[in-house]
């Protein structure tokens, strides 16, 4: 088709949601321009290259790989020609505060044996939990997560099944209902933290993650998650479309209630037939549409949402390898419920913490200089509503993490560090324009999900659409890839 006759779509932001949307729009015949404020695409999946180490900034566990494969298929290509995904076994090791551990894998017999090793009386309960997880997957992931919730009638149709599945219960309650051992309760309930949710309050629909992991595996992209970003960027360019980096959208231009394009910070106007925002939902409505009258997503409503937690991440390289450490380790702290309350409700930065430790060089040694290891340690922390000055607190907090890792998992760590950088909620707010510095957009509470979440087709402005963590179905790579799939359904 003559390029000038193709409808033009502007996508604001190049997170996984924005990249997937650009591919789907390209496949529908749109001319697409992706606008990204950072110097490289990826958003939360940005890659920091430093001192010979390659640090994936955010997502590391690839679940539901079929959602990526679909994008390649849509472009008439095979994903394996561009990106090699390797299944991990075990998926991850959980180390509890009492020193015991649990290796999570996709092998039902090994999982049963692990449960029996910690608490023989809980094997049956664990099996029942897993069946409950499968039922939530079938409805939550395959049905709810694949359809738009543009009308309240869609929500009404889903309510009976949501009620039958006791979606009003939290993930924590669902775990407690099935197993008695405190460690197993933690193990079966901590997954919502992967998408910014408090296990004590997010809907038990999210226990579906256990089934998702076992059924489709936990994978790692060789070369790091950045390899997926590069692969998707290549698909966009394959359609003849562009990703413009180092450009920040200052405003979505609207005329007679319809989006007409965007204005960049430098004043440049880019007209468009449709605008798709992959930028933070709070930022899009209250900043990029600051001059547009809005009926549903007013500033007050955006402000009243409950936002997910923030994260503190310490990226570091060592001049030695820690071959005893798995690719993914979760090091639980002394408190679980108390810590979650501090993060999500009390909004205070506790002295104790739980850590997720990523060691990608366990699978792909090319991500560090020879004989070295690449790591990141992630600690869930409250978002910027907490009274924490991260410009002051970042270094002492990093030191506390270093001390704990050295004591529990990594002897000699302090002598081995040769590269270091941190990120925290303040950086999320300033660099990625995340509302309140939250790492995962609005929290995935039942009252902020499906129809209650910001719709994929704007309720306030025609020709404006949303993809990414803040819209339906929610955060996580599977969630944001699904949001782009739903965009395909709601485009008119």
Ligand X SMILES: Cc1cc2nc3c(=O)[nH]c(=O)nc-3n(C[C@H](O)[C@H](O)[C@H](O)COP(=O)(O)OP(=O)(O)OC[C@H]3O[C@@H](n4cnc5c(N)ncnc54)[C@H](O)[C@@H]3O)c2cc1C
The tokens 């505060």 sit on which residue?
A: 97
Choice from 27, 38, 155, 348 touching ligand X (CB under 6 A): 38
**Count, residues near ligand X per rule CB under 6 A:** 37
- 413 counts as binding ligand X under rule CB under 6 A: no
Stretch that binds ligand X, among 23-31, 57-65, 112-120, 344-352 (CB under 6 A): 57-65
Choice from 227, 311, 325, 326 touching ligand X (CB under 6 A): 311
| Contact indicator for 401, 250 with CB cutoff of 8 Å | no
Stretch that binds ligand X, among 53-61, 201-209, 253-261, 393-401 (CB under 6 A): 53-61
CB closer to ligand X, 126 vs 435: 435
CB of 450 to ligand X, least distance (A): 17
Choice from 13, 26, 282, 442 touching ligand X (CB under 6 A): 13
Stretch that binds ligand X, among 41-49, 129-137, 393-401, 454-462 (CB under 6 A): 41-49
- 228 counts as binding ligand X under rule CB under 6 A: no
CB of 467 to ligand X, least distance (A): 6
CB closer to ligand X, 126 vs 314: 314
CA distance to 78, 290, 336, 378, 433, per residue, from 193 (Å):
32, 32, 12, 11, 21
Choice from 105, 167, 210, 278 touching ligand X (CB under 6 A): 278
Which 434-453 positions form the footprint of ligand X (CB under 6 A)? 439-440
Which 358-397 positions form the footprint of ligand X (CB under 6 A)? 378
- 105 counts as binding ligand X under rule CB under 6 A: no
CB closer to ligand X, 183 vs 191: 191
Closest-CB residue for ligand X? Answer: 15
Q: Which residues pair with 480 in a beta bridge?
A: none
Nearest to 197 by CA among 307, 116, 352: 307
CB closer to ligand X, 144 vs 377: 377
CB closer to ligand X, 43 vs 125: 43
- 192 counts as binding ligand X under rule CB under 6 A: no
- 426 counts as binding ligand X under rule CB under 6 A: no
CB of 46 to ligand X, least distance (A): 7
3-state secondary structure the chain: CCHHHCCEEEEECCCHHHHHHHHHHHHCCCEEEEECCCCCCCHHHCEEEECCEEEECCCCCECCCHHHHHHHHHCCCCHHHCCCEEECCCCEEEECCCCCEEEECCCHHHHHHHHHHHCHHHHHHHHHHHHHHHHHHHHHHCCHHHCCCCCHHHHHHHHHHHHHCCCCCEHHHHHHHHCCCHHHHHHHHCHHHHHCCCCCCCEHHHHHHHHHHHHHCCEEECCCHHHHHHHHHHHHHHCCCEEECCCCEEEEEEECCEEEEEEECCCCEEECCEEEECCCHHHHHHHHCCCCCCCCCCHHHHHHCCECCEEEEEEEEECCCCCCCCCEEEECCCCCHHHHHHHHHHCCCCCCCCEEEECHHHCCHHHCCCCCEEEEEEEEECCCCCCCCHHHHHHHHHHHHHHHHHHHCCCCHHHHEEEEEEECHHHHHHHCCCHHHCCCCECCCHHHCHHHCECCECCCCECEEECCCCECCCCCHHHHHHHHHHHHHHCC
CB of 44 to ligand X, least distance (A): 4
Choice from 332, 388, 409, 432 touching ligand X (CB under 6 A): 432
Choice from 60, 170, 198, 230 touching ligand X (CB under 6 A): 60
Choice from 9, 11, 45, 339 touching ligand X (CB under 6 A): 45
- 44 counts as binding ligand X under rule CB under 6 A: yes
CB of 256 to ligand X, least distance (A): 23
- 35 counts as binding ligand X under rule CB under 6 A: yes
CB closer to ligand X, 115 vs 302: 302
CB of 13 to ligand X, least distance (A): 2
Give the footprint of ligand X on this chain (CB under 6 A). 12-18, 35-38, 43-45, 58-61, 194, 248-249, 278-279, 283, 311, 313, 378, 432-433, 439-440, 468-469, 475-477, 480
């Amino acid at each position: 088709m003559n390029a000038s006759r193709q409808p033009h779509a502007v996508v604001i932001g190049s997170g996984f949601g924005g990249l997937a949307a650009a591919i789907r729009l390209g496949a529908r015949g749109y001319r697409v321009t992706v606008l990204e404020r950072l110097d490289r695409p990826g958003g939360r999946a940005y890659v920091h290259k430093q001192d010979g180490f390659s640090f994936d900034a955010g997502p590391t566990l690839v679940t539901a790989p079929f959602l990526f494969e679909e994008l390649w298929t849509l472009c008439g290509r095979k994903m394996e020609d561009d990106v090699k995904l390797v299944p991990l076994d075990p998926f991850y090791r959980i180390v509890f505060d009492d020193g015991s551990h649990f290796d999570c894998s996709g092998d039902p017999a090994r999982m049963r044996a692990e449960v029996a090793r910690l608490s023989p009386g809980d094997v049956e309960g664990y099996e029942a939990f897993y069946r409950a997880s499968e039922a939530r997957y079938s409805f939550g992931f395959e049905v709810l997560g694949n359809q738009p919730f543009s009308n309240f009638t869609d929500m009404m149709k889903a309510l009976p099944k949501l009620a039958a599945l006791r979606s009003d219960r939290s993930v924590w309650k669902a775990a407690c209902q099935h197993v008695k051992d405190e460690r197993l309760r933690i193990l079966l309930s901590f997954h919502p933290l992967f998408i910014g949710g408090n296990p004590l309050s997010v809907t038990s629909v999210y226990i579906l993650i256990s089934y998702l992991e076992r059924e489709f595996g936990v994978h790692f992209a060789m070369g790091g998650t950045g390899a997926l970003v590069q692969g998707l960027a290549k698909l966009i360019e394959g359609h003849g479309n562009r990703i413009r980096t180092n450009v920040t959208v200052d405003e979505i231009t609207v005329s007679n209630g319809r989006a007409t394009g965007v204005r960049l910070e430098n004043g440049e106007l880019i007209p468009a037939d449709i605008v798709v925002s992959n930028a933070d939902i709070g930022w899009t409505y209250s900043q990029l549409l600051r001059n547009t009258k809005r009926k549903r997503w007013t500033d007050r409503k955006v402000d009243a949402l409950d936002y997910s937690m923030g994260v503190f991440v310490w990226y570091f390289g060592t001049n030695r390898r820690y071959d005893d450490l798995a690719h993914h380790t979760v090091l639980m702290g002394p408190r679980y419920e108390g810590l979650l309350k501090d993060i999500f409700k009390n909004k205070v930065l506790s002295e104790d913490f739980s850590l997720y430790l990523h060691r990608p060089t366990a699978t792909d040694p090319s991500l560090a200089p020879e004989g070295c290891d690449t790591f990141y340690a992630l600690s869930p922390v409250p978002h910027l509503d907490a009274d924490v000055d991260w410009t002051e607190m970042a270094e002492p907090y990093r030191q506390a993490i270093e001390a704990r890792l050295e004591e529990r998992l990594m002897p000699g760590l302090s002598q081995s560090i040769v590269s270091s950088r941190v990120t925290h909620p303040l950086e999320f707010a300033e660099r990625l324009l995340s509302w309140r510095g939250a790492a995962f957009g609005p929290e995935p509470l039942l009252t902020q999900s499906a129809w209650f979440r910001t719709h994929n087709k704007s309720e306030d402005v025609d020709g404006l659409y949303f993809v990414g963590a803040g819209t339906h179905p929610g955060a996580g790579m599977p969630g944001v890839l699904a949001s782009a799939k739903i965009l395909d359904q709601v485009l008119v």
